[in-house]
Structure 1
Amino acid sequence: MKIFNVVFCVLFVLFAALQFNDPDPYIWVPIYLYGAIFCALAVAGKYYKGWYLFGILAALTYAVYLFFAKDGVLSWMTEHQAENIAGTMKAEKPWIEDTREFFGLFIIVIVLLVNFVNTGQKSAKKMRKKMMKIR
């Protein structure tokens, strides 16, 4: 789990740094840094189940918005035949930008979800150890 969190911590910091040339870095830098911070805390052995859940719900809410937005993911899939979103890093087409942002949120949700589940497993292990001591 430590390697997983180190890798994603570094990736999220890089993703945040790449947002400074984006039209809305004030939204995306904090989003990616949120993921980086909680990965770094997990590396240090500190897990915050409630904050993982908050991040998952916030990212999912924004992802649903981006999916159904006028120039969102649904538009990219149906009206623009899922054209290549990696062709150029400068996205002049809003449906490409929204689709990239959607997948960025999807990555954050997966990483936070993995840590959320891992936290639950750690709690269950601690509980089993306590129960064994009582017996």
Structure 2
Amino acid sequence: MILIILNIIFCLSFLVFAYLNLNDVDPWLWVPIYLSASISCGLVVFGKYYPTIWLLLVAFYLIYAIILFFAKDGVRDWITKYKKPSLVETMQATKPYIEQTREFFGLLIISAALLINYFAT
């Protein structure tokens, strides 16, 4: 029952995140990323399990997260060069590292949700 509730929360959250990314500079990338996670979690609610797809998605998300970590003005630069300033002071990505660091953590959240499903089912 907890898995169902968790997946309802994940499904709705990722759906909202997909909607919020419609006005992003790269919605062609982020809307499908969040929609695929939302659909994957939503299917669990209805008893549909696709562990191979979850693992493929997690692999894609983690590879992309690694790219964002090492990219110029990515997570590594946010930690070392910029000394970890707040990422949530404003919703506007006014500094070059904000967008990539937020995207990195979004990918980790999605991956965690899908891995929870993988190991719980």
What TM-score, normalized to structure 1? 0.86
- Give the superposition deviation at 1:94: 2.1
Shift of 1:118: 1.6
Q: Deviations over 1:33-63 (max 9, x none)?
A: 0110001100000100100000110000000
2: CA distance between counterparts of 1:25 and 1:71?
20
> Which residue is 2:106 aligned to?
104
What percentage of aligned pairs have identical amino acids? Answer: 50
Instruction: Report matched runs for 1:76-87 at 5 Å.
Output: 76-87=78-89
Partner Cα distance (1:95, 1:20) in 2: 20
Shift of 1:85: 0.4
Structure with the larger RCO, 1 or 2 (CA within 8 Å, 6+ apart) = 2
Structure 1 alignment gaps of length 5 or more: 120-135
Q: For the residues of structure 1 that align with 2:14 and 2:103, how far apart are their CA atoms? A: 13
CA distance in 2, matches of 1:7, 1:35: 12
Q: Pairwise CA RMSD of aligned residues?
A: 0.7
Q: Over residues 58-83 of structure 1, what are the superposed CA-to-partner deviations in whole Å (9 max), with x where a residue is unaligned?
A: 00000000000011000001111111
Helix, strand or coil: the match of 1:23?
coil
Q: SS at the partner of 1:55? A: helix
> TM-score, normalised on structure 2?
0.96
Give the Cα separation in 2 of the matches to 1:32 and 1:48.
Answer: 17
Which residue number corresponds to residue 52 of structure 2?
50
How many residues are paired up?
Answer: 119
1:22 is matched with: 24
